[in-house]
Amino acid sequence: MNKPLLYARRIVLVSACVAASAIPTNADVQTEYFWNDDPGIGHATTLALSASDADGYSLSSIPTDVLPEGFNLLGIRSSNKGQWSPTYLTYVWNRTIPVNQIDAAEYFWDSDPGIGRATQIGNLADINNAEGPFSIDTSELPNGEHLLGIRVRSNGRWSTTYINRVLINPNMPIKIIGLEYFWGSDPGIGNATSVALTPSHEVEIDPLSLPFPDEVLDEYTLSMRLQTNDGWGPTYTWSHDNIPVTDINVAEEDISLNVDDTKTLSANALPVDAFHPGIAWTSDNPEIVSVTSAGEVKAMAKGTTLLHATSTHYPSIEKTCRVTVFDQGLSQADILTDGEVTVRGIDGGILVEGVSEGVVTVYLPTGAVAARHAATPSLTIPAESGIFLVDVGGTIHKIAVP
């Protein structure tokens, strides 16, 4: 993320007003500005734009008659359909010398060579005609902080020297001591949600890692600002369409447990970058299997029930896990798979799947035949609770029926 640095590549000198940048004008655009202290997005002074030109742009002016003399920080930002741009900052020097009476102007960096000995500003006609701003080149300055001094002369008398600190090189690190963010409307500087951080020269943060508002919206607008030793920087705004949950992946869809067994089930929302991925587990029959919302399961009594993994924000989206509880000391062996053949104990019988021909024979542990049936792709053989041996194509399966 960009660091909120206050730096200058151009110093602006104005008299009665400041010319604002060309801004696209349409019914959805709102522009606002502030001087020195940012009151928060949507709370600054609205900038009324003049009629647009043939290209759809307009120019306007910002009054400076209420400003104190000297340098002032001007911030301007625009929104289009509710999405705010970054805040553009520039330093403005407000002078009180009457127009058309400046006969000299000069500036210096860091060390004052004395009145009348600094670098002359040559475009006085633009200044006197209020057609500024004008630029002071900083390309030859080394990176770092510098002091800029500016003074003007009118009727042979020099003004006070106005000193301003300028940071050259926007990539120069500044120590960040605070970070705050908000969704939607700006609560004001210092009133948003703060993020704990260790003071550093840079901060990396993924907007998607921040908690989303609980309300499901079509679009979310996130704003963040950084605080340095020099104060709060501009507010950066990020917008993204909602990514809804469309499915749930359950790691296990059919399990067996013994009474008093515990297990933690896992499930995740899809897509993986959904904005509200929360999932809550519930049980159809807590007397057989209890489960916490986080998926912590305990087998309570013999039987079979379904557990539901449901999206917390999209309740129509869910997946289930079938749980069978035994009390004969058998669990995972109760569901046996041999190639495409699956044999399992269910309430009231034995389910054999994946056999299309032949005979399925069920024996008691003593070896007596309990049942014999012609195979079908999905065969349910009635049986009381107990342990049985099932012969499927010569393969013997030991099965417990709850």
Predicted confidence band at 95 (pLDDT cuts at 50, 70, 90)? low
Between 119 and 383, residue with greater pLDDT: 119
Mean pLDDT on 27-54: 75
At 317-356, the pLDDT tens digits run 999 999 888 765 444 334 444 456 778 777 778 888 878 7
d(CA 323, CA 261): 12
Whole-number pLDDT of residue 228:
81
Per-domain boundaries in the chain: 12-168, 176-241, 247-326, 333-401
Of 15-24, 45-54, 94-103, 111-120, the least confident? 15-24
Instruction: Evaluate if residue 170 carries a pLDDT over 90.
Output: no
Q: Which range scores top for mean pLDDT: 97-101, 149-153, 268-272?
A: 268-272
Instruction: Evaluate if residue 136 carries a pLDDT over 90.
Output: no
At 185-212, the pLDDT tens digits run 889 888 999 988 888 777 777 777 788 8
247-326: CATH topology: Immunoglobulin-like (2.60.40)
Mean pLDDT on 49-64: 56
Predicted confidence band at 265 (pLDDT cuts at 50, 70, 90)? very high
Mean pLDDT on 78-99: 69
Q: Which range scores top for mean pLDDT: 45-54, 150-159, 252-261, 369-378?
A: 252-261
Give this prediction's pTM.
0.44
Whole-number pLDDT of residue 11:
30
Mean per-residue pLDDT over the chain, rounded: 76
Phi, then psi, of 379 in degrees rounded to 5: -115, 125
Between 140 and 126, residue with greater pLDDT: 140
Whole-number pLDDT of residue 341:
76
At 231-247, the pLDDT tens digits run 787 787 877 888 899 99
Whole-number pLDDT of residue 31:
85
CATH node for 176-241: 2.60.40
Instruction: Evaluate if residue 224 carries a pLDDT over 70.
Output: yes
Domain pair 176-241 / 247-326, same fold: yes
Instruction: Evaluate if residue 125 carries a pLDDT over 80.
Output: no
Between 270 and 68, residue with greater pLDDT: 270
d(CA 398, CA 370): 14
Mean pLDDT on 66-92: 75
